[in-house]
Amino acid sequence: MRRRSFCLLVLAVVLYPLTSFGQGAQDHLNLSTERLKRRDFKGAAESARRAVNLDPNLVEAWQNLTQANFLLGQYEEMLKSAHRWSELNPESPRAWNSLGVAYHNLRRFGEASRTFRKALELQPDDPRILVNLGEAPFRLGQREEGMDKMRRAVEVKPNFALGWMSLGKAQYQMGQYDSAVNSLRKAVGLDPGLGEARSYLRRAEARAKGAWP
């Protein structure tokens, strides 16, 4: 009986070499990083959560947990992990930008805008933060202010396809169809895989010609 139990234990270890037995916070952090690389987002979140349970001050684990929550579309959980990340590393623009993304996806645009501003203070003229900061006030009806930030993003980084797409979408929604066509063509030219940009481009071209898309 003892021999059989021993064999079962060995089999379990062979089949599941990455179990939590004897692992510390750093081990779980490393595993979460590997799982993110393999696009195992659920597993990455689980490993990162175990890491922060063992060491609540492990910044990189909160970062991984935030990323995994975002990729899983779990924005309430992302808000919690990004908030803790920004508390532990208040000088990190990535932490504040991630917190802003969580607020934005929860449609809390005022809080998103304030948080993106904090990120931009720490990393001025970062094109991704500029686009995010443009999106939030645009949703709040502050459209010119939002578009100014998007224009600044593509000035800073002219090959930023997502920036051109965001600007083109905003211009389309403002009824500036010719400008939208130009911006969206640049987005598609830089990244032909942007399906949303192609869709908006077709609609903008139709509207610019006076046709209903």
Q: State the pTM of this model.
A: 0.82
CA distance 88 to 117: 19
25-89 CATH fold: 1.25.40
Residue 154 pLDDT > 90: yes
Share of the chain above pLDDT 90, in %: 81
**1.20.120.920, 3.20.20.70, 1.25.40.10, 1.10.260.40: CATH of 158-213:** 1.25.40.10
Give the residue-averaged pLDDT of 53-70.
Answer: 97
Residue 213 pLDDT > 60: no
> 90-145: which CATH architecture?
Alpha Horseshoe (1.25)
Residue ranges of alpha helices (H) inside the chain are: 2-15, 25-37, 41-54, 59-71, 75-88, 93-105, 109-122, 127-139, 143-156, 161-173, 177-190, 195-208
CA distance 139 to 173: 11
Query: 137-145 long-range CB contacts below 8 Å, 24 or more apart?
Result: 137/109, 137/113, 138/170, 139/104, 139/107, 139/109, 140/109, 140/110, 140/113, 143/170, 143/173, 143/174
Residue 20 pLDDT > 80: no
Residue 83 CB neighbour total at 10 angstroms: 18
Return the domain boundaries, the chain: 25-89, 90-145, 158-213
How many residues in total does the chain contain?
213
Is there a common fold for 25-89 and 158-213?
Answer: yes
Residue 165 CB neighbour total at 10 angstroms: 26
